[in-house]
Amino acid sequence: MPSPEPMAQDLPPSNEERIRHLEETISDLRSQGDDTKTLLQQVLDRLSPPAPVPTGPPPVRTSSRSGHSAPTSPHIPPSAGRKKAILKPSNPADFDGDLLSG
């Protein structure tokens, strides 16, 4: 015959047990977050090459064949020699006033 007293598993957990369980869950989640962050950083490091270290302006090379350096042309950006395209709207389509014809 079952005893009239409730079983231990039927009793609600005490506040201390609830708090302990919540603290363990939070600790586990933080650990998982740290692991995920570390793994993500490793993936990013593999996917993106390291940025080149700027060393300053490149050295000027001189020609040593004749003692005179060849004349150099200034750097011209690719768009400097082209005219700027001017976009104009097109003329409106013919409209006879009939809204039903579309």
Question: pLDDT tens for residues 23-59?
Answer: 999 999 999 999 999 999 999 999 987 677 777 776 6
Which tokens go with 25? 């869950």
**Contact (CB, 8 A) for 70 and 63:** yes
- The model carries a pTM of 0.37
**Cα–Cα distance between 31 and 55 in angstroms, integer?**
40
d(CA 19, CA 92): 72
Of the pLDDT bands very low, low, confident and very high (cuts 50, 70, 90), residue 89 is: confident
